[in-house]
Amino acid sequence: MSKDNPTHMGHFGDVVNDELKQFIVDYGTCRPKGPFPKDESQENLSFSGAYYNMVSEAGLSVEVFWLAYSPILDSAYCELCWLFADRTDPHLNRAWSTGVRKWKHLSQKNQSPRIFKDTHSVVYGF
């Protein structure tokens, strides 16, 4: 396991038991600071540590607490969705529980308060 990023989903995959959930919750979300690899197929864009925060409608910087990044997979993901979502629910947005790599659109989605509700309604039931 990577000493720097021991909790990212690239180490564990889709099968997450209660012991692993507890370890990840206790240790903390995987949020490396970078640098992040550039993707030639996406105009040399990459993940950015700035995505860990969003700007609220009031202009305040707010932590996007559910967002994590896997250096092995070079993907952003919702840690809550990966750990706790019901994968049998047909309304689950599986992309957020398996990894997202569309860097151009990630910052736009992250700025919208709606992404939280859309992404997490299945996890939280609201």
Q: For 9-42, write each residue's pLDDT tens digit.
A: 988 877 789 999 999 989 989 999 999 999 998 8
110 has a pLDDT exceeding 70 = no
Which helix H or strand E contains 86, and what residues bound it? none
Which helix H or strand E contains 104, and what residues bound it? helix 103-111
3-class secondary structure, 53: strand
Report the distance separating Cα 94 and Cα 58, nearest Å.
30
For 122, residues 6+ apart whose C-beta sits below 8 A from its C-beta are 81, 85, 86, 89, 91, 92, 93
Cβ atoms 117, 110 nearer than 8 A: no
> How much is the pTM?
0.80
Cis before 35? omega within 30 = yes
- β-pair partners for 100: 76
Question: Higher pLDDT residue, 104 or 32?
Answer: 32
Q: For 35-73, write each residue's pLDDT tens digit.
A: 999 999 888 999 999 999 888 888 888 888 889 999 999
Q: Which pLDDT does position 120 carry in this prediction?
A: 53
